[in-house]
């Protein structure tokens, strides 16, 4: 008998009022209005660890979605990813009340100098005992670039070239600056570290000059676990090169047919010399659980009823770079296919249900199409099927927080454990070790090439 | 009878092995080797709050001290501010186990874009309930500038011009972007915020273009409490313009004579239209407490014995920008007076004891001169005298951590409370309110000029 596939559970949230499902913050069974304080995050972290989740993934933006109707007004009115506080700063507090839960956060390669950012990642990896992941993004919101003084948005592929160099600087600092045995912490000889084993990186590239050495000694994972969600051709190439976790929106049909992002990125990774099994793919899903199927459907119907169309349009317009407020929602989708399309939206279009012909249909699909609704048994069955189709884990969007996660933990997780798809406890060690078996980048990952061979007599 | 002066207690530390007193990390009664994890910081925060400290102030650097003997080898060997992890990331965890303690951290205006940094400050102010302070520095270590690709260190005064604009961007985001009543969080009307009350800042200056709006809604303090430690002429002008807390090294003699940084910065602040009482001055001190004077002296002698001369020279060389390894330690001090001198060192020189004639003497003064050693009664008497001389509070350097702070809390704090110089508990509200009586910048602070007059009917 085949061993059941271990599935990875990732809770998806953001340090803001309204993240993916717009308009539900008004419900009295969700804590979204408390986002700015520590309390809901400490509670969420404790809950997710009790429930055996692998990671909490915090999305982020560096600007306003201001495409819809030519302004950010709808986003502000809806709390639609604005206000949006920094995600990284939630992690140390959540780490202090958990032992195993991983924390991934989004940060754009344009928001901070790589020396400053690499140091923050290392600090987080130290503070959490190696439980940190970074979701690499190349900012696409025009307002984000205006906020950072980069109004002339570099072209899409150019941004990935910039990101490649940003990662190169990171790898040099994380992997190459401090040798494994540089730190002695020898009280008797009064030597903290051996200067012969701490190296400048002297990076010089088109975008950055960084001398080093890294200011941080090696952390449990060195390089944080790397996530990515790019869906364009160049984005998939970038993911294939760097990512260890990839967020996708695909379908079981596409997976069965060997199409869509999953097999494509695995093929690209192999072509780049990586082991394609060193990448885990996470399908985005909105799970709605009820004691009976009818109860679950009623819950879903209530969410759909309360979802904000304006909020969804503002979100989608920004993601598409197209003001959907200026278009007839009943115009055929084909008229927009030539436009630049981002991440989730591109995936949505590619996997839109067969009845999807207009933007109004797509919006409905955006709001409803990702719902996975049913009894705990039905949901668990579906997750197992996703796993059998080739998905490694799930990026779980909330309708209410922490309600959606409570329902999954109380209803679905015990079934997945019974069936052997989740372990009862956590594996030991840092996040990368829990998910992939070893705490450091695998040898065939490009970051590993920046490691130094050990020098000197203290090395073995 | 005059009311006793309330004194402010600030614990001084850094996210590294060895901060100010070099070489003492080898002792077995200090937790410096645990710096990279959360545990010592959570314990320290709890301790300081139990002991009535107002703030914990975390220093920082963005590069190696690599002037001494032409390399960073001594710094690395001594753990002398390298490794140095990010200080900001300790604050959320420490805030989660405290209610009143303030947290100030150093950040250079060169390490992050002001839009990114202002957002991190606002996030911290939200997460801590308004307990955050920022110590503004203009990086001076050449290696820090090499790490950030700014090898041609701007001239000293030019760096303060850059910092002025950085602050201007901060004020516009913190004070001017979101009106006081912009956030409605109205579940019934389904309106999170009123777009008419959220404004772009459209900053355009010599160094930055920042569109806004700020991504964060108003936090308890809006602008974090602003600290500064500049001691040059331009640095004092900068402090007089922006700072609400100033770290100094002065003497009671200078204070009595109306000389040194304290009266100078107060005069400059008044000339700039500020209320000079809106600035608190913190004297740096290393307190050593013993049950008897002899016990205290023996403790001090043990510290002096264990202090590392090389570590101190590496620190001083970097701060001075002069390789003291290349000079005769017995050369007269006068031969260096023309050099650019930074912060603490300049203060040390100005206030060096009368016998200080050579660098060897100055090093001794650097190591021993700031010790305030005695019984709890003697130390309390001295602190009260400092207060009467015009100092508002103390920036307390550790010899061992948390040992130095435990000694102060158990011995000195109760006496200061008895005498009315410290309160038994904490005043309510954000950090600025605790220290200055109101949570927001005072009207005569230059940051207040960026506030918007309320608009629209919802305002009162």
What confidence tens digit (pLDDT) does each residue in B388-402 have? Answer: 999 999 999 999 999
Q: Is A147's CB within 8 Å of B210's CB?
A: yes
Could you tell me if B18 lies within 8 Å of chain A, comparing CB atoms? yes
What pLDDT, on a 0 to 100 scale, did the predictor assign at position B38?
A: 98
Q: What is the mean pLDDT of residues B358-365?
A: 70
Residue A330 tokens read as 């009943």
Those residues whose C-beta lies under 8 Å from the C-beta of residue A338, and which sit 6 or more positions away, are none
Closest residue, chain B, to A188 (C-alpha): B26
Could you tell me if A184 lies within 8 Å of chain B, comparing CB atoms? no
The Cα–Cα gap between B222 and B224 comes to 6
**Sign of the dihedral through C-alpha A396, A397, A398, A401:** positive
What confidence tens digit (pLDDT) does each residue in B166-179 have? Answer: 999 999 999 999 99
Q: Is B151's CB within 8 Å of A213's CB?
A: no
Closest chain B C-alpha to A4 CA, distance in angstroms: 36
Residues of chain B contacting residue A95, judged by C-beta atoms under 8 Å apart: 38, 93
* pLDDT above 50 for A340: no
Residues 75-134 of B with CB under 8 A from A: 76-79, 82-86, 88-93, 95-97, 111-113, 115-116, 119-120, 122-124, 126-127, 129
Instruction: Return the number of other C-beta atoms located less than 10 Å from residue A447's C-beta.
Output: 23
Q: Is B215's CB within 8 Å of A93's CB?
A: no
Q: Name the residue among A317, A86, A435 with its Cα closest to residue B116.
A: A86
CATH number of the domain at A8-293+371-450, out of 3.20.20.150, 3.30.420.480, 3.50.50.60, 3.20.20.30?
Answer: 3.20.20.30
Could you tell me if A23 lies within 8 Å of chain B, comparing CB atoms? yes
Give the up-direction half-sphere exposure of residue A169: CA atoms within 13 A in the CB hemisphere.
Answer: 29
Q: Is A26's CB within 8 Å of B187's CB?
A: yes
Q: Is A148's CB within 8 Å of B116's CB?
A: yes
Q: What is the mean pLDDT of residues A63-90?
A: 97
Closest chain A C-alpha to B338 CA, distance in angstroms: 29
The Cα–Cα gap between B333 and B357 comes to 6
Q: What is the mean pLDDT of residues A355-383?
A: 82
In a mutagenesis test of the A interface, which of B21, B165, B215 is the best target, namely the one with the most A β-carbons within 10 Å? B215
Closest chain A C-alpha to B424 CA, distance in angstroms: 27
Q: Is B93's CB within 8 Å of A95's CB?
A: yes
* pLDDT above 60 for A138: yes
Closest residue, chain A, to B209 (C-alpha): A149
Residues of chain B contacting residue A147, judged by C-beta atoms under 8 Å apart: 115, 210-212, 215
Q: Name the residue among A81, A84, A121 with its Cα closest to residue A103.
A: A121
Q: DSSP characters for B168-191?
A: HHHHIIIIISB-TT-EEEETTTTE
Residues of chain A contacting residue B129, judged by C-beta atoms under 8 Å apart: 37
Q: Is A187's CB within 8 Å of B26's CB?
A: yes
Q: Name the residue among A182, A85, A120 with its Cα closest to residue A452.
A: A182
Its ipTM equals 0.94
Closest chain B C-alpha to A334 CA, distance in angstroms: 33
Q: Is B115's CB within 8 Å of A15's CB?
A: no
If you average pLDDT over every residue of chain A, what do you get? 92
Nearest by CB to residue B212, choosing from A61, A93, A147, is A147
Those residues whose C-beta lies under 8 Å from the C-beta of residue A175, and which sit 6 or more positions away, are A222, A223, A441, A447, A448, A450, A451
Closest chain B C-alpha to A76 CA, distance in angstroms: 6
* pLDDT above 90 for A332: no
Q: Is B190's CB within 8 Å of A26's CB?
A: yes
Q: Which residues of A312-346 are buried (b: 16+ CB within 10 A; e: fewer)?
A: bbbbbbbbbbbbbbeeeeeeeeeebeeeebbbbbb
Nearest by CB to residue B123, choosing from A42, A86, A126, is A86
* pLDDT above 90 for A453: no
Residues of chain A contacting residue B99, judged by C-beta atoms under 8 Å apart: none
The rounded Cα B201 to chain-centroid distance in angstroms is 29
Closest residue, chain B, to A43 (C-alpha): B96
Closest chain A C-alpha to B28 CA, distance in angstroms: 9
Q: What is the mean pLDDT of residues B409-429?
A: 97
* pLDDT above 60 for B344: no
Q: How confident is the model at residue B369 (pLDDT cuts 50, 70, 90)?
A: low
Cβ proximity of B145 and B74 under 8 Å:
no
Parallel/antiparallel/unpaired status of strands A183-186 and A191-193: antiparallel
User: What percent of chain A clears pLDDT 90, i.e. is strictly above it?
Assistant: 80
Closest chain B C-alpha to A88 CA, distance in angstroms: 8
Residues of chain A contacting residue B112, judged by C-beta atoms under 8 Å apart: 112-113, 116
* pLDDT above 50 for B341: no
Could you tell me if A137 lies within 8 Å of chain B, comparing CB atoms? no
Which regions of A15-170 does DSSP assign to beta strands (E)?
A: 55-59, 102-108, 132-137
Q: Is B147's CB within 8 Å of A210's CB?
A: yes
Closest chain B C-alpha to A46 CA, distance in angstroms: 14
Q: Is B123's CB within 8 Å of A193's CB?
A: no
What pLDDT, on a 0 to 100 scale, did the predictor assign at position B156?
A: 73
Q: Name the residue among A231, A15, A218 with its Cα closest to residue A138.
A: A231
Could you tell me if A438 lies within 8 Å of chain B, comparing CB atoms? no
Closest chain B C-alpha to A168 CA, distance in angstroms: 14
What confidence tens digit (pLDDT) does each residue in B200-246 have? Answer: 999 999 999 999 999 999 999 999 999 999 888 999 999 999 999 99
The Cα–Cα gap between A126 and B83 comes to 12
* pLDDT above 70 for A438: yes
Closest chain A C-alpha to B143 CA, distance in angstroms: 7
The Cα–Cα gap between B71 and B94 comes to 35
What pLDDT, on a 0 to 100 scale, did the predictor assign at position A348?
A: 62
Those residues whose C-beta lies under 8 Å from the C-beta of residue B272, and which sit 6 or more positions away, are B240, B241, B446
The Cα–Cα gap between B260 and A413 comes to 66
* pLDDT above 60 for A345: no
Q: DSSP characters for A326-368?
A: GS-TTSBGGGGTTS---HHHHHHHHT--TT--BHHHHHHIIII
**Neighbouring-strand partners of residue B13:** B58
What confidence tens digit (pLDDT) does each residue in B303-321 have? Answer: 989 999 899 889 988 887 8
In a mutagenesis test of the A interface, which of B76, B221, B310 is the best target, namely the one with the most A β-carbons within 10 Å? B76
Residues of chain A contacting residue B79, judged by C-beta atoms under 8 Å apart: 192-193
* pLDDT above 80 for A410: yes
Q: Is A37's CB within 8 Å of B123's CB?
A: no
What confidence tens digit (pLDDT) does each residue in B14-47 have? Answer: 999 999 999 999 999 999 999 999 999 999 999 9
Residues of chain A contacting residue B72, judged by C-beta atoms under 8 Å apart: 195, 198, 213
Q: Is B37's CB within 8 Å of A217's CB?
A: no
Q: Is B149's CB within 8 Å of A208's CB?
A: yes
Closest chain B C-alpha to A26 CA, distance in angstroms: 5
| Range from A139-143, A152-156, A195-199, B97-101 carrying the lowest mean pLDDT | A152-156
Number of H helices, E strands in chain B: 17, 13
Backbone φ, ψ for residue A11 (5° rounding): -90, 135
Closest chain A C-alpha to B144 CA, distance in angstroms: 9
- Angle (deg, nearest 10), helices A156-171 and A114-127: 60
Nearest by CB to residue A211, choosing from B143, B195, B209, is B143
Q: Is A190's CB within 8 Å of B26's CB?
A: yes
Q: How confident is the model at residue B455 (pLDDT cuts 50, 70, 90)?
A: low
């Amino acid at each position: 008998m085949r061993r059941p596939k271990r599935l990875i559970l990732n809770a998806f949230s953001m340090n803001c009022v309204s993240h993916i499902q717009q308009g539900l913050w008004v419900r009295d069974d969700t804590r979204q209005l408390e986002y700015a304080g520590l309390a809901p995050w400490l509670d969420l972290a404790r809950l997710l660890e009790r429930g055996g989740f692998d990671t909490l993934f915090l999305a982020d933006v560096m600007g306003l979605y201001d495409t819809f109707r030519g302004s950010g007004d709808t986003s502000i009115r809806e709390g639609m990813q604005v206000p949006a506080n920094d995600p990284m700063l939630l992690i140390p507090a959540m780490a202090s009340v958990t032992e195993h839960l991983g924390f991934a956060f989004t940060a754009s390669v344009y928001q901070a100098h790589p020396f400053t950012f690499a140091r923050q990642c290392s600090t987080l990896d130290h503070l959490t005992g190696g439980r940190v992941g970074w979701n690499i993004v190349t900012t696409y919101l025009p307002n984000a670039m205006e906020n950072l003084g980069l109004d002339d948005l570099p072209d899409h592929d150019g941004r990935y070239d910039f990101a490649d160099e940003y990662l190169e600087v990171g790898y040099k600092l994380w992997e190459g600056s401090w040798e494994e045995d540089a730190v002695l912490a020898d009280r008797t000889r009064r030597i903290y570290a051996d200067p012969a084993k701490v190296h400048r990186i002297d990076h010089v590239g088109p975008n950055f000059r960084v001398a080093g050495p890294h200011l941080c000694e090696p952390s449990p994972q060195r390089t944080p676990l790397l996530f990515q969600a790019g869906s364009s051709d160049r984005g998939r190439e970038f993911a294939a090169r760097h990512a260890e976790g990839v967020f996708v929106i695909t379908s079981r049909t596409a997976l069965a047919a060997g199409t869509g992002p999953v097999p494509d990125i695995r093929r690209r990774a192999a072509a780049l010399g990586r082991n394609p099994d060193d990448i885990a793919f996470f399908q985005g899903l909105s799970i709605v659980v009820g004691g009976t199927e009818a109860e679950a459907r009623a819950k879903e119907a209530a969410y759909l009823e309360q979802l904000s169309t304006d909020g969804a349009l503002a979100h989608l317009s920004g993601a598409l770079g197209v003001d959907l407020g200026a278009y007839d929602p009943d115009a055929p989708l084909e008229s927009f296919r030539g436009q630049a399309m981002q991440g989730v939206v591109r995936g949505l279009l590619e996997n839109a249900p067969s009845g999807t012909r207009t933007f109004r249909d797509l919006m409905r699909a955006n709001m409803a199409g990702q719902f996975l609704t049913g009894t705990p048994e039905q949901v668990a069955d579906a997750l197992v099927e996703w796993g059998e189709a080739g998905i490694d884990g799930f990026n779980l969007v909330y309708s209410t927080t922490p309600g959606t996660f409570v329902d999954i933990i109380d209803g679905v997780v015990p079934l997945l454990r019974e069936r052997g798809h989740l372990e009862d406890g956590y594996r030991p060690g840092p996040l990368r070790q829990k998910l992939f078996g070893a705490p450091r980048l695998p040898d065939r990952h490009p970051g590993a090439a920046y490691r130094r061979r050990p020098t000197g007599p203290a090395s073995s």
